[in-house]
Amino acid sequence: MSDEFPEEPPILEPEPPPIVERRSYWGWIALCLVFFGLISLGLWSYFGRASAPFQLLRSFDGDLKQIYFSHETSGVLGAKKDADSLKSKLKELANEIEAESKEDQSLVSILVVVNSERGVHPTDEQLDILSKREARRSQLISAIYGAQRKLTLVQIDDINELLVGETFFDLLAKREANKRFGDAIPAPKLFDQSKIRLFPILMLGFGSALCLGPILWIVYFAFRNSGKWQPVGHPVPVQDANGGDAYAGRTACLLLSLIGAEVIATLLVKAFSLPDQISSVITFGLAIAAAAFFVSLPLNGRPSSLKIAGFRSSNPLQDILWGIGGAIAAAPIYAILFIPVFFLQKFLPEAEHPIQAEFTSSTGSLGLIMLIVAASVGAPIFEELVFRGNLLPALQSLFRKPTWAVVLCGALFAMIHPTGIPVWPILASMGMVAACLTLQRGSLLPAMTMHAVHNGAILMLGLVQI
């Protein structure tokens, strides 16, 4: 019998449970609060300006200008200028203005001008209202369209000084003064003929995009189904929920930096008596600098930089071409979405594209240059970095498939613009196409290019109408 004892089985210690990092929801809370504030402020601005008397005057003045612009460009496009059609449109506009002017007498001035353009003399009551208003412009319009046959030298000087084109009906009133009282009041040009000739070229370009866009979609899906154009994915894929939390917090910081940049830009413009038009350039310059700082900070314990965030491209030329193609492919989508836009504007106040809104305050060469720089350079860089570079990966962490992240990212992109509800579908579709380009190429460059082309096209269309 052996004295050896049998070996005891080794004691197996249980493996420690995996360390689960605790999630932090502060980034999402901050992001929700920022979006709530921006959307609420935008809606307040939209409904506020829509109900303001000045906005009504501005809206009717824009309609009046569009009527005459369409009349002028019809001749360039080969159609015969129809005087009866012009008068019919002016009559419709006059009826709308008259309905509003009963509540707001500040609209009587444009009503008098519109009625005169369609051959209807203003009533004595309308002229009396204008002559008694404190605004010198209203008094001058009363003098121009009244029964008197002469103007004083002071009135002539005031007409030449005040009616310089701040509104389109200013130009029509000055043109009427030239007809009645001679060359002492020079007749202004309603539109630059070179811009009138440029308009058909822009329409030809848009029409070509409408035809080419569907072809690009067919080609894209054909190549994708064949396995050649598979999406690369987001340049910064989020592996877990904690990463999404971190990107949500960074997105909130970037949006707050834009608000701070706007405040600083406004203070600098006032402190140094700078032109107002330079404010948007300063805003985006400061916002981009702040964004570069935030993006360079480590995120969720991992190194970060602009390059990691998507400011990179393995083939810049191809990415730029993808961006241009995306802008063309989006054109038929915009055309289709104009149907709900037109429907919504029947029930909601008229909306403005953010670039079109800037044209009202950007006059002169400096203002236009600043607007071009801000809209075609600053906005695409900053907004794509925020929405497609950071918000999109944050939203992807919430959904198994990127589809809902793309849709929600586009919707939020539209809703923070203080343009008004009717144009949200178009802006949202633009944001969705930009998100798809980012996922397709694994870079922000295509989305930035598409964004710049979109804003540049709106700028060109606006330029021919100012």
Concatenated DSSP letters of 155-204: HHHHHHHH-SSSSHHHHHHHHHHHHHH-TTSPPPPSS-HHHHHHHHHHHH
- How do residues 8-57 score in pLDDT, each as one tens digit? 666 655 666 554 456 788 999 999 999 999 999 989 888 876 666 667 78
Yes or no: say if 351 and 419 are a contact pair by the CB < 8 Å rule.
yes
77 pLDDT tier (thresholds 50, 70, 90) = low
* DSSP β-bridge partners for residue 302: 299
Say which residues have a Cβ less than 8 Å from residue 145's Cβ, sequence separation at least 6. 112, 113, 116, 121, 122, 127, 173, 176
For tokens 């402190």, the residue is: 271
The predicted pLDDT at position 379 comes to: 93
Distances from the Cα of 348 to the Cαs of 93, 180, 296, 342, 344, in angstroms?
18, 40, 43, 10, 6
Q: What are the backbone angles phi and psi of residue 299, rounded to the nearest 5°?
A: -120, 120
The predicted pLDDT at position 347 comes to: 82
- Three-state DSSP state, 353: coil
Say which residues have a Cβ less than 8 Å from residue 204's Cβ, sequence separation at least 6. none
**Comparison of pLDDT for 84 and 287, the residue scoring more:** 287
Report DSSP state, residue 235: S
Q: What are the backbone angles phi and psi of residue 302, rounded to the nearest 5°?
A: -115, 145
Identify each DSSP E strand in 184-268 by its residue range: none
Does residue 461 carry a pLDDT above 70? yes
The predicted pLDDT at position 419 comes to: 82
Yes or no: say if 402 and 410 are a contact pair by the CB < 8 Å rule.
no
Does residue 334 carry a pLDDT above 60? yes
Q: Which two tokens stand for residue 424?
A: 């949200």
Yes or no: say if 413 and 431 are a contact pair by the CB < 8 Å rule.
yes
The predicted pLDDT at position 80 comes to: 65
Among 158-167, 398-407, 436-445, the minimum mean pLDDT is found in 158-167
- How do residues 289-324 score in pLDDT, each as one tens digit? 999 999 999 887 788 889 888 998 989 999 999 999
Average pLDDT over residues 345-372: 67
Yes or no: say if 236 and 308 are a contact pair by the CB < 8 Å rule.
yes
Angle of the 241-271 helix axis to the 279-296 helix axis, nearest 10: 150
Task: Classify burial at 160, counting beta carbons within 10 Å of its beta carbon; exposed 0-12, middle 13-18, buried 19 or more.
Answer: middle
Tell me the pLDDT of the chain averaged across its residues: 86
Q: Say how far apart CA 406 and CA 314 lie, in whole Å.
A: 23
136 pLDDT tier (thresholds 50, 70, 90) = confident
**Comparison of pLDDT for 44 and 195, the residue scoring more:** 44
Yes or no: say if 72 and 196 are a contact pair by the CB < 8 Å rule.
yes
**Comparison of pLDDT for 262 and 400, the residue scoring more:** 262
**Comparison of pLDDT for 260 and 62, the residue scoring more:** 260
Distances from the Cα of 10 to the Cαs of 4, 7, 13, in angstroms?
17, 9, 9
Does residue 466 carry a pLDDT above 80? no
> Of the ranges 151-160, 413-422, 444-453, which is most confident?
444-453
Does residue 82 carry a pLDDT above 80? no
Among 155-159, 221-225, 328-332, 462-466, the minimum mean pLDDT is found in 462-466
The predicted pLDDT at position 203 comes to: 87
Yes or no: say if 409 and 341 are a contact pair by the CB < 8 Å rule.
no
The predicted pLDDT at position 152 comes to: 84
Q: Cα dihedral sign for 78, 80, 81, 85? A: negative
351 pLDDT tier (thresholds 50, 70, 90) = confident
**Comparison of pLDDT for 4 and 132, the residue scoring more:** 132
Does residue 443 carry a pLDDT above 80? yes
| CA-CA-CA-CA dihedral for 109, 112, 114, 117, to nearest 10 | -130
**Comparison of pLDDT for 343 and 208, the residue scoring more:** 208
Task: Classify burial at 78, counting beta carbons within 10 Å of its beta carbon; exposed 0-12, middle 13-18, buried 19 or more.
Answer: exposed
How many of the other CB atoms lie within 10 Å of CB of 424?
21
78 pLDDT tier (thresholds 50, 70, 90) = low
459 pLDDT tier (thresholds 50, 70, 90) = confident
Task: Classify burial at 72, counting beta carbons within 10 Å of its beta carbon; exposed 0-12, middle 13-18, buried 19 or more.
Answer: middle
Yes or no: say if 386 and 252 are a contact pair by the CB < 8 Å rule.
no
Yes or no: say if 379 and 448 are a contact pair by the CB < 8 Å rule.
no
Does residue 362 carry a pLDDT above 80? no
83 pLDDT tier (thresholds 50, 70, 90) = confident
460 pLDDT tier (thresholds 50, 70, 90) = confident
Does residue 284 carry a pLDDT above 60? yes
Task: Tell me what percent of the residues of the chain surpass a pLDDT of 70.
Answer: 88
